[in-house]
């Protein structure tokens, strides 16, 4: 039986990898999924797969670094769905793995815009719709290096650490006055394009597929978690 029937869920970075897998898992659980990413072709492929499996979805091609575009998306969603019950913020940018003195200014600015600034704009745009839900949930993907600094990962790690602080501050602000709850999910080693870029010599068959993370996120949404919860997805290898 569907565990999330009638829920409205927005997934960023939904055209591939963990975002796509999470969107499919949410649709299987009965949610209507709003799919956002920059690439229309990828979104259409995910939408088709959801419809073929009996689920429902709507695509909304969008560059998250476009603040005006985010506001317009929220304005377009509101008349059709007065509340958004779930946001899964999967979109992110790795950037180059390089020493701190060698971070390229333009690329680093783009990583900041994607991982941090866009997160704030996403919250700002959809906060009213989350508040309209009887059980609003905001889940964001993070990384272990946000809390455990690693050489050459500074650009990605620093922006993810800042994003964590941003989301947990929001969680604290709304905890006493709304039903909104926030959680952070660290997917661990997962078979994604970002992982392949970070570890080019790794055999992808040795790490778990993104569907494991998507299922873990749905399992989190199925229970009454405390705001601020952190989840690390077990590094099991699947086919």
Active site residues per annotation: 156
Which among 81, 145, 105 is positioned nearest to 60, based on CA atoms?
81
CB of 228 closer than 8 Å to CB of 168: yes
Burial 147-172 (b: 16+ CB within 10 A, else e): eeeeeebbbbbbbbbbbbebbbebbe
Provide the 10 A C-beta neighbour count for residue 182.
Answer: 25
Angle, vertex CA 46, rays to CA 24 and CA 185, nearest 5: 45
How far is 91 from 60, CA to CA, in rounded Å?
14
The helix (run of H) or strand (run of E) holding residue 23 is helix 17-28
């Amino acid at each position: 039986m569907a565990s999330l029937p009638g829920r409205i869920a927005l997934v960023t970075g939904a055209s591939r990898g963990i975002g796509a897998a999470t969107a499919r898992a949410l649709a299987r659980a009965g949610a209507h999924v709003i799919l956002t990413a920059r690439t229309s072709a990828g979104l259409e492929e995910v939408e088709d797969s959801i419809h073929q499996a009996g689920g429902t979805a709507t695509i909304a091609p969008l560059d998250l670094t476009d603040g005006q575009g985010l506001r317009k998306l929220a304005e377009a969603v509101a008349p059709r769905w007065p509340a958004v019950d779930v946001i899964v913020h999967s979109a992110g940018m790795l950037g180059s793995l390089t020493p701190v003195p060698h971070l390229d200014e333009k690329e680093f600015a783009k990583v900041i815009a994607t991982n941090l600034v866009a997160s704030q704009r996403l919250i700002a745009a959809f906060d009213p719709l989350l508040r309209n839900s009887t059980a609003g949930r905001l889940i964001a993907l993070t990384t272990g290096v946000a809390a455990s600094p690693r050489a050459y990962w500074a650009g990605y790690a620093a922006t993810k650490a800042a994003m964590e602080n941003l989301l947990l501050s929001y969680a604290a602000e709304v905890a006493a006055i709304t039903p909104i709850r926030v959680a952070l999910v660290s997917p661990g080693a997962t078979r994604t394009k970002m992982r392949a870029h970070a570890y080019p010599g790794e055999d992808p068959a040795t790490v778990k597929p993104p569907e494991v993370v998507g299922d873990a996120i749905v399992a989190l949404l199925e229970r009454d978690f405390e705001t601020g919860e952190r989840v690390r997805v077990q590094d099991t290898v699947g086919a």
